[in-house]
Structures are given as structure tokens and as C-alpha cells.
Amino acid sequence: MIVSAPDYVGPLEGWRAWHVVERDGALRLVSPLYRTAWPAREAFAAACRRGLEQGVSLYHARTRHTAPAGGCGCGIYGSFEPAHAVAYMSRFFKHREDVVHRVIGTVSLWGEVVECESGWRASRAYPRRIYVPRPEGRRFFFRGLRRPALPAAEIALALADYGVSVQLVACSSVDELAEIASRPDLGQEAA
């Protein structure tokens, strides 16, 4: 079901994961699947990328639509729970050399919104809070990714460009990260 929220209703808040990469001399949040960089200090707009390969749609032009659309998986995702975002964060799509770190956070979702089994897909979004895992212990907990290429504190400082709360989270596993992120008092402190 597609729900259009009127302008006077506040955005929904969901959880999601991002890769952190260096783009044009700055660290940016990037969607893990399609590698789309989220611009700092402006809304991120969804686009259906179904069938895109090498920048060319494999589908006929008449199948193109605005995102999100019922019957398609397009849109900007936000999950109901941090555990779902953390699980997505640890999935191994493909090793990418440009990924500096992986982070989770909350995201404001608005515009056209489709409710799904574990969250929402929306036409517009912007990060609300960013949690930068600071690994503890000898083993790093994300499969397919080495320890952060930069100190976690430096990554957190650079992500402050987004103008939202950025917090370091000391943890030794994805389960611990999800548990810490679900605490209601976590968003009170910013890095």
C-alpha cells in the first residue's frame, strides 16, 4: 500500500546501513547496493534502478516509474529495528576497495512511502543520526571488510558534514552494535 504523507505530517524514522567512501576529497555515505552517494545537507531522492546495468536500463521505457512503486523493490529503505539494519550492514555483496567503513543510523523518510514487512521504502530521505562503530578487541566483526581504513573518530568527525548527530559506538560484534543502537538514550550524545 502506498501512503502519501501530507506536508504538515513529520517524516517517518527508520534504520539503515551505509558504506562510507571517499568522494571528491570528502567522506560520504553511500548506499551499499547501488553505490549512490548521499549528498550532505540536501534530501536524497529515490530513483528506480531496476534492471540498470552499466547505466542502461534493461527494461523498456514504459516500465520506468517513480520510486517507490508497488510491485517493485525500489525506494529508499528504512527498517523498523536497528537489528535489521545491522544484519544488512554485515551482508557481503562484494569486497570493494573504496569502502572506508560501514555505519548504521536512523533516517528520516518522507514523500511517497510504501510500508514493507520490516520497514518502509520512501521517495525522499535524509540521515537523522549516524552511529560509527569503533571496533573493540582483536577481531573485527564485519565479514568482507577490514578494520576501518581511518580511525573511527576521524570518520565520525568527517561525517559531521551531514549536519546531524554522529556518535562513536564501541562494540565487538554486530549483535552488540544492534543492542547498543536500540537503547533509547544512545541518541543523546553526539561526537
- Burial track 79-90 (b if 16+ CB lie within 10 A, e otherwise): bbebbbbbbbbb
The pTM of the full predicted model, rounded to 2 decimals, is 0.82
**Does pLDDT of 42 surpass 90?**
yes
pLDDT digits (tens, 9 = 90+) for 141-153: 554 445 677 899 9
The pLDDT, as a whole number, for residue 66 is 82
Residue 191 placed within a domain? no
93: which 3 cell numbers? 555483496
- What are 74-112's pLDDT values in tens digits? 899 999 999 888 877 666 455 677 888 889 999 999 999
| Any domain includes 119 | yes
- Count the neighbouring beta carbons within 10 Å of the beta carbon of residue 121: 25
Q: In terms of C-beta density within 10 A (0-12 exposed, 13-18 middle, 19 or more buried), how is residue 66 classed?
A: middle
Per the structure, the complete domain to which residue 121 belongs is given by: 2-185
Find the helix packing angle between 82-90 and 174-181, rounded to 10°.
150
Read off the amino acid at residue 155: I
Domains contained in the chain, number: 1
Please indicate, yes or no, if residue 190 is contained in any of the structural domains. Answer: no
The mean pLDDT of 107-135, rounded to a whole number, is: 93
